[in-house]
Amino acid sequence: SPELSDTITAHFHGTLTDGTVFWSSVESNEPLTIQLSGLIEGCQKVISQMKINDKWRVYIDPSMAYGDEGRPGIPSNSILVFDIELLDIQ
């Protein structure tokens, strides 16, 4: 399982609870490589429990995502649904 200081490569498919896709590395077929600490808190906590090749669907509370601020395509106080596939830990 990765530590916060590790760089991970993973596929993310992110939707709102109504199914609206706000981001998908799966659709673009370009996995994300990023230091784990650079992700939202909810993703940090989840991925730190994952092993390589795990595929998880997780629901992330707004308090561990974008909260009141939201983001373009993500209304404030949104629960985020992520399908995450951990491909590598560096």
Amino acid at 8: I
Torsion-angle region of 73 (φ positive above 0: left; ψ -120 to 50: alpha; else: beta) = left
The 10s digit of each residue's pLDDT in 35-64 is 999 999 999 999 999 999 999 999 999 999
Domain count, the chain: 1
Kindly report the pTM of this predicted structure. 0.94
Residue 2 lies in a domain: no
- Domain hosting 25: range is 7-89
The 10s digit of each residue's pLDDT in 1-32 is 999 999 999 999 999 999 999 999 999 999 99
Question: Which CATH number characterizes residue 26's domain?
Answer: 3.10.50.40
Q: Which two tokens stand for residue 9?
A: 């490569």
Residue 1 lies in a domain: no
In eight-state DSSP terms, residue 64 is: G
Q: Residue 35 has what pLDDT?
A: 98
Rounded Cα–Cα distance for residues 1 and 18 (Å):
31
Give the Cβ contact number of residue 65 at 10 Å: 21
